[in-house]
Amino acid sequence: MTGRAEPPCTAARACRPLRADAKRNRARIVAAARLVFSEAGLDAPVSQVARRAGVGIATLLRRFPTRDELVAAAFEDKMAAYSRAIDEALADPDPWRGFRRYVETVCGMQAEDRGFTTVLTMTFPASPAFEADRDRSAAGFAELIRRAKAAGRLRKDFAHQDLVMILMANAGVVSASAGAAPSMWQRLVAYLLQAFDADAAAPLPKAPTRAETYHALLRAGRSERGAQPP
């Protein structure tokens, strides 16, 4: 190769439009990252992504200087789908039906790719659109909870952080049943949704705080990726 290598794209430096071959390389890297992160977790070596994409590590790092930028690009489409799911749930004239469909959709996304749950606990300062989608989804879910309770269908003690508990429980079922009973998670979610119905409500232990829930999810994510929690 001759000539000076183009410096990497960053949030502070706008990049010129990519050439056709550079666009192809970027698309191959993102597609490979989706597969590798799905199979081996978010801590998989970026060199593994480069090999799967059929490019050199220098090419990968030129397009994605940091792992977080690569992760954000790999999950960009899924985060957009996550954001659309809350929009569709809020648009449903029946807030209880919208709530149930949203929980089913998010759990289904998790069943397809467990790494996505871990992504929800990460921050991506280099990808403001990614962050905005996640924050808007969280705010939308809070509104969905409010509406479903106001309609008298969702039990009054359901807490926003209960969604994390649902995802943690679902992750265990998905992990244990993968390849043997791939639809088992759907039965779990159906059981949980029945328990959330106000008509079936019975006293529950106090919900964990949002901070406790967040740290529990972080620990679960580290365990999922094979790291030991502190």
String of b and e for 85-102 (b: at least 16 CB within 10 Å)?
Answer: bbeebbebeebbebbbbb
Residue 11 has pLDDT above 80, yes or no: no
Among 30, 47, 73, give the residue marking a domain's end: 73
**Does position 224 have pLDDT exceeding 60, yes or no?**
no
Same domain, 51 and 136: no
Whether 112 and 171 share a structural domain? yes
pLDDT in tens, 159-211: 999 998 898 899 888 888 877 888 899 999 999 999 999 987 777 778 778 78
Residue 169 falls inside a structural domain: yes
- Is 64 found in the same domain as 151? no
**Cβ–Cβ contacts within 10 Å for residue 45, how many?**
12
Q: Are 64 and 73 in contact (CB under 8 A)?
A: yes
What pLDDT score does 229 carry?
33
115 belongs to a structural domain: yes
- Rounded-to-integer distance, Cα 66 and Cα 8, Å: 10
Q: Measure the CA–CA gap between 66 and 17, rounded to whole angstroms.
A: 20
- Per the structure, the count of domains in the chain is 2
Are residues 66 and 178 located together in one domain of the fold? Answer: no
The encoded tokens of residue 187 equal: 């039965």
Token couple for 45: 């070596």
What value does the mean pLDDT take over residues 79-99? Answer: 95
- In this structure, is the dihedral angle defined by the CA atoms of residues 53, 56, 60 and 66, taken in order, positive or negative? positive
Supply the pLDDT for residue 114: 67
Residues 207 and 184 in one domain: yes
Instruction: Point out the domain boundary residue: 37, 52, 73.
Output: 73
Dig out the tokens for 137 from the structure. Answer: 């989804």
pLDDT at 187: 94
Please tell me the predicted confidence (pLDDT) of residue 49. Answer: 96
**13 occurs within a structural domain:** no
Q: Is residue 49 part of a domain?
A: yes
Q: Look at residue 120 in the predicted model and tell me its pLDDT.
A: 75
Indicate if 154 and 137 belong to the same structural domain.
yes
Residues 107 and 203 in one domain: yes
Question: Which residues form the domain of 113?
Answer: 76-224
| pLDDT tens for each residue of 144-156 | 999 999 999 999 9
DSSP at 199: G
pLDDT digit string (tens) for 189-203?
999 999 999 987 777
**CATH number of the domain within which 46 lies:** 1.10.10.60
Same-domain pairing of 93 and 190: yes
Q: Would residue 148 count as lying in a domain?
A: yes
Average pLDDT value for residue range 84-95: 97
Q: What are phi and psi of 206, to 5 degrees?
A: -60, 140
Q: What angle do CA 152, 153, 157 make, to 5 degrees?
A: 85
Q: What average pLDDT score do residues 214-219 get?
A: 72
Does 192 map to a domain? yes
CATH code, 97: 1.10.357
Whether residue 228 has pLDDT greater than 70: no
For residues 151 and 133, state if they share a domain.
yes
Considering the domain architecture, whether residues 216 and 145 belong to the same structural domain is answered as: yes
One domain for residues 57 and 90: no
Strand partners, 197: 154
Tokens of 50: 């480069």
Token digits of residue 26: 């970027």
Q: In this structure, are 28 and 140 located in the same domain? A: no
- Which of 73, 93, 117 lies at the terminal end of a domain, its last residue? 73
Q: What is the pTM of this model?
A: 0.73
